[in-house]
């Protein structure tokens, strides 16, 4: 039941927020998101983390005559994703407090509505339910980005929307095909349940093309090179909150999709293509990093760095060993936390100086000590310095890739060096040096901004120092996953 | 059967009511008529009967599609408010013609005999020729009527020729007997039979504006008054595709090999032409015309797959398409009336600010036509794709349809972008009657309801 509560509470709250006129909407939205986080914490406390099986399950018929069920539940991986979502959404809402967006009720209602879609993706255990929420999450983010975005928003967002729909329709086609492979020939005997999909024993050739139908959808969402072209523009043109939602949570949908709906469903297909995917992912790491080094716009820089980080996660996951998968899961959390923090800091700088150009900034440390410290910690997390969250994830991921193929590991390892280059270059340009005309009157963080950043900073160290809190939740689920893949 | 008789009688009564001084009573009355017909029609559920020495069969298939078509007509009528306000002297005639054409549409989904199919098609077509030209003072409307009539009567001739050849080959008009006689004792199919079959396919393809016989559709749709365009795009199309399906699955299933390549070619062409054509259209009305061609393509996909799933898929898709079309054409009609007949994308600029409700209705119907979840259109596409994939060897067709559906999102979103992201400029608030608003809300609620709980109607047949 608690899963259903997690799923529907944000949608209900969205309807409530929609009714509130004026700027009071944001407070209600924030409280609603906090309640959602509290529900997720209650679920975590009652969660048996020693077991790899699905908990808090709910399974009722949805389209009964076609064998499609409303089947939701959480295992360790889902729970971590739900925690990430419910942790970030209140902060994202809080980070919007300093903006006076027009039509605030619609804006915050869309964020909450999207949360339902995101949670739905992470808890759905029926293929068509998963697809349903996958698209439900897309509609609000399109409108958030398109209505409240920057100057090129119309062109950029429609590209994003059509691009992702294009991918996901292939996923739908693959699901329909798989659905017809389950059971006998009668309609009612088919099932789209995740367990039914896991039990399919398809021929290697079939799995080979289904792999691509599914992979395209997930690869576009993550995005994996060369399916990334929508991403930098969309991140740059969207309002900061939409960028945070996209980079912090939505791209995890793609990675989660791989874990739940690709690896265990078509293991033979994966074993044919894993090397290619690793190569693409590693190209993405290098490509994203090198382009990030050349960027002048802070938001674009972080957008490209995100391609690099996601490339490593995707490479680690496709190694199909425990380190790679566990690293992928923990790095999803870390990346979500770091990237949201970085985008928020960029938003703070932009709102004070009206520019995101590195060359027009400089000397901010002199005025804003607290901001500098927070920025530095988040940056260290991104570079994956020991003691920070990024280190745990990237270490495990690189270990996984190294075990798969030492050469791949060596090339992928460049990510840490390259990340240091672009991150330090950014930090140096923005924070040190002489003040520019834009940064002369820079003020330090307000209370509201601290309230957003401090929880993120705490998480950077928590994951960095005590990763076992989180690793132990996902470990049995990952083991379970591996046993299905290697069956 | 009662619904056919009732509609004919009520249509005539309605003509006489046209002599009344006050025309205001006509609309509620006709809506009442249709509601009665809708209810009476449902009485025939699970009660299959044949009439007129096996000319018509009212089975669940016929009842289901009659239900969709009656409901659609019922939902379209409230948009005739402007005719009432203008005290149009022909109002009663318009209503009657719509009722009569519905009779033809029912015959098309209930036929058991080629003659009945032909008569049904003709009743619908002649009614449409008249309604296309009903705006007598508009050049475009006259052009539409003439174009539709010339092309339509030519293809009627083609279809009749096909039917005659089929008669020549089998000696009967009855589709069951034709079905039994299609393969000779030696296991081959007569050449005359195949010719007749293909020519009949061409005739019907024209009626549902399937490519490459679609050229009339955009011009006719654009020129025809929007009220009747809605009827053409929904009721006429539903009837056409349902008749087509019944004919191919009911009569010609055994000679599949001889018509399958043609059908596949028509389906693929229709999908491609409809979706690619819609991208480049300058006006919403023409875009919707092309989109209706593309939807004919999706509907035809059930026909090339035909198996246990396709009947239900066809039904659900037709229903979801009809609901979304009524809503989108309805909003279009209200907008173009306010903007002096302008139905370009610019006419929709800023609608999200001036009329949030209309913009929301339009958004939901665009999402539904595009096949995005939360709306009935998604499950429509889902069931259609399912039925094709269940056919086994047609996965490539689904892959093609998927790519084209993604293109579809692009042109449907052009409307959404205009409504929410473009400034209103000089566009003022669009006024709408309470009746029209009620219909739009009903369509939207049903679209979302069937998008959340498709099981309500998805497996009835």
Domain ranges of chain A: 275-487
Residue B54 touches chain A, beta carbons under 8 Å: no
Give the confidence band of B185 by pLDDT, cuts at 50, 70, 90: low
**Do the Cβ atoms of A187 and B308 come within 8 Å?**
yes
Looking at the DSSP assignment, which residues form a beta bridge with residue B50?
B57
Average the pLDDT over each of A95-104, A242-251, A399-408, B133-142 and give the range with the smallest value. Answer: A95-104
Residue A56 phi, psi (nearest 5) = 50, 45
- pLDDT surpassing 80 at residue A123: yes
Q: Count up the domains in chain B and report the number.
A: 1
The packing angle between helices B356-370 and B376-390, to 10°, is 0
In a domain, residue B114? The reply is: no
Average the pLDDT over each of A265-274, B126-135, B363-372, B422-431 and give the range with the smallest value. Answer: B422-431
Among chain B residues, the shortest Cα distance to A178 is held by: B389
* Mean pLDDT computed over A50-59: 85
Torsion of CA A64, A67, A70, A75, to 10 degrees: 160
Asked if the peptide bond before residue B61 counts as cis, ω within 30 degrees of 0, the response is no
Question: Where on the phi/psi map is residue B218: left (φ > 0), alpha (ψ -120 to 50), or beta?
Answer: alpha
Give the whole-angstrom CA distance, residue B358 versus residue B329: 12
Please give the pLDDT value at position B83: 79
Q: Write out A88-139 in H/E/C secondary structure.
A: HHHHHHHHCCCCCCCCHHHHHHHHHHHHHHHHHHHHECEHHHHHHHHHHHHH
Query: How far B333 CA sits from the closest chain A CA (Å)?
Result: 25
User: Domain range spanning residue B305?
Assistant: 272-461
Residue A153 touches chain B, beta carbons under 8 Å: yes
Give the confidence band of B231 by pLDDT, cuts at 50, 70, 90: very high
* Mean pLDDT computed over B70-82: 90
Give the percent of chain B with pLDDT over 70. 99
* Mean pLDDT computed over A451-466: 92
Listed by number, the residues of chain A in 58-87 with a beta carbon closer than 8 Å to a beta carbon of chain B are 61-66
Average the pLDDT over each of A344-353, B298-307, B387-396, B407-416 and give the range with the smallest value. Answer: B387-396
pLDDT digits (tens, 9 = 90+) for B335-344: 988 888 888 8
- pLDDT surpassing 70 at residue A335: yes
Residue with tokens 């609000």: A140
Residue B373 touches chain A, beta carbons under 8 Å: yes
pLDDT digits (tens, 9 = 90+) for A263-278: 999 989 888 998 999 9
Give the confidence band of A188 by pLDDT, cuts at 50, 70, 90: low
Size of interface A-B (CB pairs under 8 A): 85
Please give the pLDDT value at position A202: 84
Residue B50 phi, psi (nearest 5) = -115, 150
* Mean pLDDT computed over B103-131: 93
In a domain, residue B410? The reply is: yes
Q: Which residues of B touch A170 (CB under 8 A)?
A: 399, 402
Give the whole-angstrom CA distance, residue B168 versus residue B162: 10
Give the whole-angstrom CA distance, residue B74 versus residue B223: 23
In a domain, residue B311? The reply is: yes
Give the confidence band of B264 by pLDDT, cuts at 50, 70, 90: very high
Nearest CA among B106, B145, B78, B385 for reference residue B246: B106
CA distances from A184 to A126, A200, A267, B51 (A): 18, 12, 23, 38
- pLDDT surpassing 90 at residue B162: yes
Residue B456 touches chain A, beta carbons under 8 Å: no
* Mean pLDDT computed over A184-196: 72
Give the confidence band of B393 by pLDDT, cuts at 50, 70, 90: confident
In a domain, residue B129? The reply is: no
**Do the Cβ atoms of B386 and A172 come within 8 Å?**
no
């Amino acid at each position: 039941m608690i899963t259903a509560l997690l799923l529907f509470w944000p949608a209900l709250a969205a309807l409530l927020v929609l009714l509130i006129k004026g700027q009071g909407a944001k407070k209600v939205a924030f409280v609603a998101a906090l309640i959602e986080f509290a529900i997720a914490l209650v679920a975590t406390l009652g969660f048996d983390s020693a077991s790899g099986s699905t908990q808090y399950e709910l399974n009722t018929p949805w389209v009964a005559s076609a064998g499609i069920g409303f089947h939701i539940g959480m295992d360790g991986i889902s729970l971590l994703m739900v925690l990430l979502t419910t942790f970030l959404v209140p902060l994202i809402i809080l980070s919007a407090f300093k903006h006076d967006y027009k039509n605030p009720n619609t804006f915050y209602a869309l964020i909450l509505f999207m949360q339902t879609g995101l949670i739905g993706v992470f808890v759905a255990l029926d293929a068509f339910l998963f697809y349903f929420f996958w698209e439900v999450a897309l509609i609000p983010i399109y409108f958030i980005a398109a209505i409240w975005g920057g100057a090129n928003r119309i062109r950029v967002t429609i590209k994003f929307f059509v691009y992702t729909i294009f991918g996901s329709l292939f996923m739908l086609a693959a699901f329909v095909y798989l659905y017809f492979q389950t059971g006998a020939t009668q309609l009612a005997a088919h099932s789209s349940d995740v367990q039914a999909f896991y039990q399919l024993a398809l021929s290697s050739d079939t799995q080979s093309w289904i792999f691509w139908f599914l992979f395209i959808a997930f690869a576009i969402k993550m995005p994996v090179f060369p399916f990334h072209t929508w991403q930098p523009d969309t991140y740059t043109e969207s309002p900061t909150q939409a960028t945070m939602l996209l980079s912090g949570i939505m791209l995890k949908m793609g990675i989660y999709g791989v874990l739940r709906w690709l690896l265990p469903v078509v293991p033979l297909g994966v074993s044919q293509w894993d090397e290619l995917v690793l190569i693409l992912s590693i190209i993405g790491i290098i490509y994203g990093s090198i382009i990030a080094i050349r960027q002048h716009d802070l938001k674009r820089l972080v957008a490209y760095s995100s391609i690099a980080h996601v490339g490593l996660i995707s490479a680690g996951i496709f190694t199909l060993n425990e380190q790679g998968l566990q690293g992928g899961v923990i790095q999803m959390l870390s990346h979500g936390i770091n990237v949201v923090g970085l985008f928020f800091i960029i938003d703070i700088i932009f709102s004070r100086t009206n520019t995101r150009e590195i060359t027009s900034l400089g000397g901010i440390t002199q005025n804003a000590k607290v901001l500098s410290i927070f920025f530095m910690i988040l940056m260290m997390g991104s570079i994956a310095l020991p003691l920070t969250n990024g280190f745990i994830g990237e270490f495990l991921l690189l270990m996984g890739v190294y075990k798969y193929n030492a050469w791949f590991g060596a090339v992928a390892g460049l990510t840490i060096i390259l990340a240091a280059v672009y991150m330090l270059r950014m930090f140096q340009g923005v924070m040190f040096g002489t003040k520019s005309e834009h940064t002369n009157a820079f003020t330090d963080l307000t209370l509201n901004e601290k309230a957003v950043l401090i929880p993120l900073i705490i998480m950077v160290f928590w994951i960095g120092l005590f990763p076992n809190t989180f690793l132990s939740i996902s470990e049995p689920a990952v083991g379970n996953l591996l046993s299905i893949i290697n069956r | 059967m009662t619904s056919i008789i009732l509609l004919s009688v009520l249509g005539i009564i309605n003509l006489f009511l046209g002599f009344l001084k006050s025309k205001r009573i006509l609309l509620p009355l006709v809506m009442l008529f249709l509601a009665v017909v809708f209810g009476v029609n449902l009485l025939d559920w699970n009660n299959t009967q044949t009439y007129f020495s096996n000319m018509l069969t009212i089975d669940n298939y016929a009842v289901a599609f009659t239900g969709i078509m009656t409901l659609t007509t019922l939902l379209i009528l409230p948009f005739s408010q402007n005719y009432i306000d203008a005290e149009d002297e022909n109002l009663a005639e318009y209503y009657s013609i719509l009722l009569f054409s519905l009779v033809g549409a029912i015959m098309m989904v209930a036929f058991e005999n080629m003659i009945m199919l032909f008569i049904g098609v003709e009743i619908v077509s002649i009614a449409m020729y008249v309604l296309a030209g009903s705006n007598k003072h508009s050049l475009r409307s006259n052009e539409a009527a003439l174009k539709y009539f010339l092309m339509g009567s030519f293809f009627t001739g083609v279809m009749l020729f096909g039917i005659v050849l089929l008669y020549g080959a089998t000696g009967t008009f009855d589709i069951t007997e034709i079905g039994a006689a299609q393969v000779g004792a030696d296991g081959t199919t007569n050449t005359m039979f195949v010719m007749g079959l293909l020519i009949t396919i061409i005739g019907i393809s024209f009626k549902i504006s399937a490519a490459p016989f679609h050229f009339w559709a955009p011009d006719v749709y654009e020129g025809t008054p929007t009220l009747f365009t809605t009827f053409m795009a929904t009721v006429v199309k539903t009837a056409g595709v349902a008749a087509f399906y019944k004919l191919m699955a009911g009569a010609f299933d055994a000679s599949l090999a001889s018509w399958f390549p043609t059908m596949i070619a028509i389906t693929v062409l229709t999908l491609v032409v409809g979706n690619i054509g819609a991208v480049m259209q300058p006006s919403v009305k023409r875009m919707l015309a092309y989109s209706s061609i593309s939807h004919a393509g999706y509907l035809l996909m059930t026909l090339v797959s035909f198996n246990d799933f396709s009947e239900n898929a066809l039904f659900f898709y037709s229903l979801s398409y009809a609901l979304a079309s009524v809503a989108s054409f309805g909003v279009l009609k209200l907008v173009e009336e306010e903007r002096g007949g302008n139905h370009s994308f610019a006419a929709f600029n800023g609608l999200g600010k001036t009329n949030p409700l209309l913009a929301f209705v339009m958004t939901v119907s665009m999402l539904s036509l595009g096949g995005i979840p939360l709306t009935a259109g998604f499950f429509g596409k889902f069931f259609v794709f399912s039925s094709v994939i269940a056919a086994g060897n047609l996965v490539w067709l689904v892959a093609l349809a998927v790519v084209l559906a993604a293109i579809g999102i692009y042109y449907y979103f052009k409307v959404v972008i205009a409504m929410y992201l473009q400034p209103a400029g000089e566009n003022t608030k669009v006024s709408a009657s309470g009746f029209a608003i009620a219909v739009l809300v009903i369509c939207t609620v049903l679209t979302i309801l069937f998008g959340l709980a498709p099981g309500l109607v998805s497996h009835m047949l």
